[in-house]
């Protein structure tokens, strides 16, 4: 079972720029939807004590995320991991070891 709404921010992959990729990654962090980009989004689950694990992303989101992340990882001169680390280091809402989000 997955959630029912499309929560992944939209991004235009045609002529993708570093600024657009940075904005998208920041939005993912702000929404609590960020994950390690080397992981397959289909393997990301939400865990809450007393409940069965639930996939964070539905099928359509997984397909979209695979395309988006591939484009971002292939963006010349851009390190998306630096954006994610910087956001988490400067955010009041850092993911902690108690986070409900984990990979399988």
Domain boundaries of the chain, sorted by first residue: 18-103
Mean residue pLDDT across the chain? 84
- The structure's pTM equals 0.79
The answer, yes or no, to whether residue 95 has pLDDT greater than 70, is no
pLDDT for residue 2: 47
49-94 pLDDT, tens digit per residue, is 899 999 999 999 999 999 999 999 999 999 999 999 998 888 754 4
Percent of the chain with pLDDT over 90: 66
Rounded distance between C-alpha atoms, residue 89 and residue 65, angstroms? 24
The answer, yes or no, to whether residue 102 has pLDDT greater than 50, is no
- As beta bridge partners, residue 78 has none
Q: Which of 40, 102, 88 is nearest to 65 (CA)?
A: 40
């Amino acid at each position: 079972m997955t959630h029912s709404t499309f929560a992944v921010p939209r991004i235009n992959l045609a002529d993708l720029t570093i600024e657009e990729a940075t904005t998208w990654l920041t939005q993912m962090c702000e929404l609590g939807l960020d994950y390690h980009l080397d992981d397959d989004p289909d393997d990301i689950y939400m865990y809450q004590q007393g409940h069965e694990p639930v996939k964070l992303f539905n099928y359509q989101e997984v397909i979209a995320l695979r395309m988006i992340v591939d484009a971002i990882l292939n963006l010349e001169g851009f390190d998306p991991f630096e954006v994610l680390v910087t956001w988490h280091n400067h955010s009041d809402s850092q993911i902690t070891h108690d986070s409900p989000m984990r990979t399988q």
